Structure 1
Amino acid sequence: MTAAAVAATPPHIVPAPSFAHLARLTDDTGLFEHARHAIPRREHGYCTDDVARGLVVTSREADPSRQVLRLAERYLAFLTHAQDAQGAFHNRLGFNRSWADQPSLGDWWGRALWGLGTAAARSPAAWIREEALLAFTRGATCRSAAPRAMAFAALGAAEMLRADPDNEPAADLLTDAAAAIGRPGLDPRWPWPDDRLTYANAALAEALIAAGDLLADPAALAAGLRMLTWLLEIQTSGDHLSVLPSAGWQRGGPRLRHDQQPIEVAALADACATAAVVTGDRDWRHGVGRCIAWFLGENDADHAMWDQGTGGGYDGLTLQGVNLNQGAESTLALIATLQHR
């Protein structure tokens, strides 16, 4: 990637990530999934997917406030409650505190390991690191049949290996995840391992980049960088990001422009930040800047994708304009992206 491939992002006053709305969405059990504008919708309950991402962003804070540390504690407690003895996870918990599903190895398993690995590697609280490591190690014995779930788990394994290069469960998991993701084909018009792009696509590229770096696998690193370069190119329109919609994009099919979800932007920001660190090429920071700018208004709607008053992230760009609801996923995506400022 070169500076010519992705032009520098226009300057913005970039705010620090705010955890105010995340705290508003959190009670003593977990993190509410949905909101009507800024008000939590309790009837939809909680999900492991979002709680795990909450643990990721709270654990990334090098000097967390007491509020942020309390959030991390609640998210960790939720995840350990969601995990069964074999390492799988429930995903959906009702407001009545009853699980609506059986433990399994879907995306939520992968994201739970991402959160637990990040907490075990980065939390300043020793007891959080210890408990997160126990739960991570149990979950890391499992393998999902879904490449995307394996990619999310790989991000947690990568965090563990950066903190402890001798962690064998993390190394084995990262190795198997890289194999599950696969490699892009030779066609330069579609350098992707699958015939369809769906959601959080950049997480797959980031997992390969991390595997290439931490497992000394140059082929995986090259594949991940090639995939990420393409993702950034096809999701840049003029001077701003125009990310793939929630419907995805089938190879050879038409590409829609809506509904665009903040999770795509956050995954791209994470992957570009990782690529910048691994390669030492600061041109990848231009990609991070594009992602930050998307939330600040450099997007197809020319509209800020967050509420300065609440600190919440808006749920998406639709054909009718901005979805002003401020659910957990979009707020977490905002926080995660601003953490790379």
Structure 2
Amino acid sequence: MTIDDHLDTRPSDQELQRLLSGKTPEPSFAHLVRMSDDTGLFEHARGPIPKRWHGYCVDDVTRGLIVVCREPEPSEQLVRLAEVYLAFLLHAQDRERGFHNRMGLDRVWHDEPETGEWWGRGVWALGTAANRGPTPWIRAVALERFDDGAKLRAGLGPQSRLNHAMAYAALGAAEVAEAHPGHPAALSVLADAAVTIGRPGPDPAWPWPEPRLEYGDAALPEALIAAGQHIGDEALLRDGLALLEWLLTLSTRERHLSPTPAGGWSPGDPRPAYHQQPIEAAAYADACARAYAVTRDRKWLTGVRMSIDWFLGVNDSGIPLIDKATGGGYDGLGLDWRNPNQGAESTIALISTLQHARWLDRIPTVAT
């Protein structure tokens, strides 16, 4: 028997009931620790076992740094992880050209520094560490390198999905603006991101600023919301909220989250669509949590709750995407199966979403 024999993993009714009853599981960092070493964070896994030979990537190390810095009371082990991840980003960053993205197990970079999407995620992680890093020295170094990274946004080229790269950078800028109101580089990144993403289109049936939904799209309206909030632009804030509401409505099916699949989605394509990935649910949770924090409108709590429940099995296939034995998140959802591998991106998406459950579970009633 191989691990692929477990692809058809529709749970029993009893398993689903156990997951959905009582308090939402606490985020576990056990698998994130398993996937990490003293250099960084391994990208892929076979089941829960790290594929060391695939090496590391900045994309996942940035995500790891963000969720560790979001922990309100990190353990010594998590503080150490934050230092490892930040050191990896400092090594990846070229102050003139951007970030490397891929490093082999031999600790040699396999690419040149560029301003691709990983640049945006790098700025996001540095901004988060500058605001929420668990030690003063992490916050100080991250702020310094955030300023260096923010200066390179004019160099974004055709290798980037510009909207997404700028959206990720804007989320980091919002973190810096929260910790340092009026910070010039942060406000400049937020303003530039709003211009790059653009306003909703005139067609109410398709106001999205791109012709097709792609990967991690909820970050775009979240960036507009953050920009409107910190720049003080009410019209921009309304644009972001309107786009997020449209996107969430489109991705809701029978009162549960039915996100864009890995291959993207255009009008006329079938829904529900597969292969759905955990990063999508995490992006919705982040965006809806920000919308609620800014507006205090309880309707956004439903989006957060649906994102959490997607991992617990309230999804198009009725299959949980959480491995409670390892703390890992499964890599994807098919029609009647889940991908048994537990890579870094999926596990971090699970952790990030369950971090939101902590405050959501304290709110007495959430209509869904």
* TM-score of the aligned structures, taking structure 2 as reference length: 0.88
Contact 1:59 1:122 in 2 (8 A): yes
The residue number in structure 2 matching 1:196 is: 212
- 207, 229, 236: which one aligns with 1:220: 236
State the 1:186 CA deviation: 1.7
The residue number in structure 1 matching 2:360 is: none
State the 1:217 CA deviation: 1.1
- Kindly report which structure 2 residues correspond to 1:121-140, keeping only aligned pairs within 5 A, or say none: 121-140=131-150
Contact 1:263 1:329 in 2 (8 A): yes
Unaligned runs of at least 5 residues, structure 1: 1-9
- Kindly report which structure 2 residues correspond to 1:141-290, keeping only aligned pairs within 5 A, or say none: 141-143=151-153, 144-145=156-157, 146-255=162-271, 257-290=273-306
State the 1:301 CA deviation: 1.5
Q: Does 1:95 align with 2:105?
A: yes
Q: Does 1:107 align with 2:117?
A: yes
Cα distance in 1 for partners of 2:237, 2:22 equals: 32
The residue number in structure 2 matching 1:78 is: 88
Q: Does 1:327 align with 2:359?
A: no
**Structure 2 residue identity aligned to 1:217:** D
- 322, 330, 333: which one aligns with 1:314: 330
Unaligned runs of at least 5 residues, structure 2: 1-19, 358-368
Cα distance in 1 for partners of 2:250, 2:230 equals: 28
Contact 1:313 1:333 in 2 (8 A): yes
- Structure 1 stretch 137-146 or stretch 103-112: which is displaced more? 137-146
Cα distance in 1 for partners of 2:231, 2:251 equals: 29
Cα distance in 2 for partners of 1:217, 1:192 equals: 20
Q: 1:93 to 1:81 in 2, by over 3 A?
A: same
**Structure 2 residue identity aligned to 1:296:** L
State the 1:13 CA deviation: 2.4
Q: Does 1:61 align with 2:71?
A: yes
Cα distance in 1 for partners of 2:79, 2:31 equals: 15
2:113 partner SS: coil
**Structure 2 residue identity aligned to 1:142:** L
- Kindly report which structure 2 residues correspond to 1:291-310, keeping only aligned pairs within 5 A, or say none: 291-310=307-326
**Structure 2 residue identity aligned to 1:228:** L
Once the two structures are superposed, residues 257-276 of structure 1 have per-residue CA deviations (whole angstroms, 9 ceiling, x without a partner) of: 10000011000000000000
Q: Does 1:49 align with 2:65?
A: no
The residue number in structure 1 matching 2:26 is: 16
**Structure 1 residue identity aligned to 2:346:** S
Cα distance in 1 for partners of 2:189, 2:131 equals: 16
State the 1:253 CA deviation: 4.5
Contact 2:58 2:122 in 1 (8 A): yes
2:338 partner SS: strand
